[in-house]
Structure 1
Amino acid sequence: MPVKNDAEKRWVELEFVLPGTPEQLWHAMATGPGISAWFTTTTVEERVGGTIAFDFGGGAVSQGTITGWQPPARLTYEEHEWSSGAPPVATEITIRSRSGDTCVVRLVHSLFTSEDTWDDELEGFEAGWPGFFEVLRAYLQHFPGQKAASFRVSGSERGTHHDAWRHVSAALGVSGPNIGEQRSAPADAPTLAGTIERVQQGGKTCEVMLRLDRPAPGIAEIGTYTYGGKARFAVSFFLYGDRAAEAVAELEPQWRAWMARRLPDADTTQS
């Protein structure tokens, strides 16, 4: 969907239908533990004037101020230093109940500028959210309210992101994926087994989402994309249950060591 604009701002908007009650969706989208279960490690001061902070790892933190707090229906916040030289970005999240224990979630990102300089960033917001909302959908369907912990390993490779996908997907046993299939990684990779829940492949990204049986209950997102002129790859884990944090502490070093060993041309970074 193209960026919309008027004399004062430019914006993108998305809508998703998700399982759960408004209270469940509010917890997932407006609290630190809830957002951390499907997006990135987040802290929230639950009040108007409070701080919301997204920790993307490696020292990358985006911080905003909550401007609207109306549980369980509407959250708004503004981020003023989300990117060097960028104008403030305002985010509005609204939750509307729908029949059959589902809700419609509407997400709007607005930039307070009349110039199109930052339209690529707005379009990047729009393109990035659907994958995370699929993680949220799986969390609400299979792991609602459970404790969560996550980690992400990423890096870059030579060649195109399609080249990186062929390499990484074969190494992890997810090449040629079909939704509903059971897949497991080869013996020389860290333990990884589960059901394919989502496949997204195109000119800009290749992604597979697994609902995990092993090494722990949760979700794994495996994907490649192009950024900064390089082919990038990333594996994100969202683990659930009382042992989630313990599992992350055990698994994260294994995955970093495997990537460094298996992908010698990759610039593996902590994220």
Structure 2
Amino acid sequence: MAVPATAEEVWESVATGPGYRRWFVEAELEPRVGGTLVTHHGDFGDSEGTLPGWRSALRLLAEFHTHFAGRQTAQALVMREVPAGHRLTVLLGLDGAVVGQQATARAEAGGRHLAVTGMVIEASGGPTGEGPTQQDSVVLRVADGAAPGVYEFGTMQYGETRMSVVRGYLHVPADADPGVAEAAQAARAVEHDWAAVLDALLA
């Protein structure tokens, strides 16, 4: 998709405070390393965090095109409410993941064994105590397997509600015939498998 704007203008329209409001929720954001991001989630309350990094618009857009250019994509999303102090990255063996190195998210529960291996492209951590900044996540770029793409595993605070999140931005494998149905089918399978595992882990 081509848009009549520069990379910087696209970044401004989707990734700043006013930009967040266009596609997500009301938000205030300080655009700098160590800046504060506050998002407002209605009845769920507010979520506040600190930006561990502030990457250029050009780099982010280049990464997006590296992952997804010319491919049909679909999103998988599983969210479960969890108790205070819960950290999904620890349960999946991702605690201490290092950007630029390989890591594997592993889970075995409910008769299922899941393993997702990829290059760590983001790793952020928050305090382990209670509070609005209690958040950590690891993002993996996965090139192989039946459902390649970019995966995020994390735990996030939304006001008084704490949620574990598995999110995948999946694309059609390079050797498959391109089509939305294939990507969507892979996304639904990922959701089904991770929902069953999270439910078993949290039971």
Is the structural similarity TM-score above 0.5?
Answer: yes
State the AA in 1 paired with 2:76: F
Kindly indicate whether the alpha-carbon contact (under 8 Å) linking 2:76 and 2:190 is maintained by their aligned counterparts in 1.
no
Kindly indicate whether the alpha-carbon contact (under 8 Å) linking 1:193 and 1:215 is maintained by their aligned counterparts in 2.
no
Partner of 1:80: none
Larger-gyration structure (1/2): 1
Q: Which of 184, 189, 192 is residue 253 of structure 1 equivalent to?
A: 192
Question: Unaligned 5+ residue runs, structure 2?
Answer: 20-24, 29-37, 41-47, 128-132, 173-177
Three-state SS of the structure 2 residue aligned to 1:216 is coil
Q: 1:181 to 1:190 in 2, by over 3 A?
A: same
Partner of 1:217: 148
- The Cα shift of 1:155 comes to 1.5
Kindly indicate whether residue 109 of structure 2 is the aligned counterpart of residue 178 of structure 1. Answer: no
State the AA in 2 paired with 1:164: H
- The Cα shift of 1:195 comes to 0.9
Cα separation, 1, equivalents of 2:187 and 2:12: 31
Kindly indicate whether the alpha-carbon contact (under 8 Å) linking 1:194 and 1:214 is maintained by their aligned counterparts in 2.
no
Q: Which of 99, 112, 116 is residue 192 of structure 1 equivalent to?
A: 116
Kindly indicate whether the alpha-carbon contact (under 8 Å) linking 1:191 and 1:215 is maintained by their aligned counterparts in 2.
no
Partner of 1:122: 27
State the AA in 2 paired with 1:155: R
State the AA in 1 paired with 2:11: V
* Cα shift readout 1:223-254 (whole Å, capped 9, x = no counterpart): 21211313221111110123322211322211
Kindly indicate whether the alpha-carbon contact (under 8 Å) linking 1:196 and 1:211 is maintained by their aligned counterparts in 2.
yes
Partner of 1:43: none
- The Cα shift of 1:263 comes to 1.3
TM-score calculated relative to the size of structure 1: 0.49
Structure scoring higher RCO (CA < 8 A, sep ≥ 6) equals: 2
Cα separation, 1, equivalents of 2:68 and 2:101: 20
Partner of 1:146: 71
Question: Unaligned 5+ residue runs, structure 1?
Answer: 1-22, 27-71, 74-94, 98-102, 111-119, 265-271
Percent of aligned positions that are identical? 27
Q: 1:151 to 1:142 in 2, by over 3 A?
A: closer
Kindly indicate whether the alpha-carbon contact (under 8 Å) linking 1:191 and 1:214 is maintained by their aligned counterparts in 2.
no
CA RMSD of aligned residues (A): 3.3
Kindly indicate whether residue 162 of structure 2 is the aligned counterpart of residue 239 of structure 1. Answer: no
Partner of 2:33: none
* Cα shift readout 1:140-174 (whole Å, capped 9, x = no counterpart): 12321210011110121112xxx222xx2133221
